[in-house]
């Protein structure tokens, strides 16, 4: 979509896709169940998160792996993860 909206050139899109494919094997997939959804809902108001960000936050917290690094360019989500004690990487830096 970013390429179609001209936020990325074709070359930038190809580079981003290549990076994604290289990183994908290290991505943990977390299934959303009722318990995790309830945990996400409990984060929304106190951490000032939208619904989708609250789900991301709850999933990262559920993993709690020592090598976990939560990655985003969303300042609010990064702040929430940090408040939960997670390591973060800001894609805007």
Q: Is the pTM of this model over 0.85?
A: no
In tens, the pLDDT along 21-32 reads 998 998 888 999
Q: Largest alpha-carbon pair distance within the chain?
A: 42
Would 14 be classed as within a structural domain? no
Would 81 be classed as within a structural domain? yes
Residue 72 near residue 78 (C-beta atoms within 8 A): yes
Query: What total number of domains does the chain contain?
Result: 1
Got the DSSP string for 29-64? P----HHHHHHHHHHHTTTT--HHHHHHHHHHHHH-
Would 48 be classed as within a structural domain? yes
Would 10 be classed as within a structural domain? no
What range does the domain containing 35 cover?
31-90
In tens, the pLDDT along 5-48 reads 667 888 988 998 999 999 899 888 899 999 999 999 999 999 99
């Amino acid at each position: 979509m970013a390429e179609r909206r001209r936020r990325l050139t074709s070359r930038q899109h190809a580079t981003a896709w290549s990076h994604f494919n290289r990183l994908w094997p290290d991505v943990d997939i977390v299934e959303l169940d009722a318990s995790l959804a309830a945990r996400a809902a409990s984060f929304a108001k106190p951490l000032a998160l939208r619904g989708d960000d609250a789900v991301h936050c709850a999933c990262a917290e559920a993993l709690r792996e020592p090598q976990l690094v939560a990655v985003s360019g969303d300042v609010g989500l990064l702040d929430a993860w940090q408040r939960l004690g997670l390591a973060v990487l800001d894609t805007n830096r």
